[in-house]
C-alpha cells in the first residue's frame, strides 16, 4: 500500500512501540496499517487410521500438506476447520484436539492446527489435485508452516504410546 485507505494521503513509515508500521502522513487522519497476520486453520486429518495429505492444484507434483484455509468473518476456528475439511474433502470432521498455534512469518499468517477424524469416502474439492494416505509411523514433518504442527502431533503421539 502506498496511500491511506481512509483519506488517500501518502503512507509513511513510522516507529510505534519499537516497531515500524505504515501510517498516514496527514496528522488529522491517524490511520496506521498494522499488517496483522491472518488467521488460518489447518487440519491434520486422520482417516481410517492413516493421515490424509493433500496436494493443492497450484503445488508441484510431489508436494503434499494438511488441509488449510482462512478463518472467515463471524466464524470460530473450530467452525473454520470443519468447513475447510467439508469443502476440500466432502467429509464431516470430528475435532479430536487442538494441536497448537504457529506463526508463519513468511506468509504473515497465524496457523491454528487441529487433529480431526473423518469417515466415509473423500471427494476432492476444486482446490485439490490429489490426496494420499500415510500411516502415522511413516509421516515426516516438514520444516515450515504446518510442518511444525505435524511434528508436535507426532511427538505427543509417541509420548502417549
pLDDT tens digit sequence for 5-39: 999 999 999 999 999 999 999 999 999 999 999 99
Q: What's the rounded Cα separation, in Å, for the pair 115 and 154? A: 11
Cα dist. 59→54, 56, 89 in Å? 10, 5, 17
* Domain covering 38-160: architecture: Alpha-Beta Complex (3.90)
pLDDT tens digit sequence for 108-130: 999 999 999 999 999 999 999 99
pLDDT of residue 81: 98
pLDDT of residue 161: 60
- The conformation of residue 24, written as its DSSP 8-state character, comes to E
The whole-model pTM stands at 0.90
The domain limits of the chain are: 1-35, 38-160
Share of the chain above pLDDT 70, in %: 99
Place of cell 473423518: 118
Amino acid at each position: 500500500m502506498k496511500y491511506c485507505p481512509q483519506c488517500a494521503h501518502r503512507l509513511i513509515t513510522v516507529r510505534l512501540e519499537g516497531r515500524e508500521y505504515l501510517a498516514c502522513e496527514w496528522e488529522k487522519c491517524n490511520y496506521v496499517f498494522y499488517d496483522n497476520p491472518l488467521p488460518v486453520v489447518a487440519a491434520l486429518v486422520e482417516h481410517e487410521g492413516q493421515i490424509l495429505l493433500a496436494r493443492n492444484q497450484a503445488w508441484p507434483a510431489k508436494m503434499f500438506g494438511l488441509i488449510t484455509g482462512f478463518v472467515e468473518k463471524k466464524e470460530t476456528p473450530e467452525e473454520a476447520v470443519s468447513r475447510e475439511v467439508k469443502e476440500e474433502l466432502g467429509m464431516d470432521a470430528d475435532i479430536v484436539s487442538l494441536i497448537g498455534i504457529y506463526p508463519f512469518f513468511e506468509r504473515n499468517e497465524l496457523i491454528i492446527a487441529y487433529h480431526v477424524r473423518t469417515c466415509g469416502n473423500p471427494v476432492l474439492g476444486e482446490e485439490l489435485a490429489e490426496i494420499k494416505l500415510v500411516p502415522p509411523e511413516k509421516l515426516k514433518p516438514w520444516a515450515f508452516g504446518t510442518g511444525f504442527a505435524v511434528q508436535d502431533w507426532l511427538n505427543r503421539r509417541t509420548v502417549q504410546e
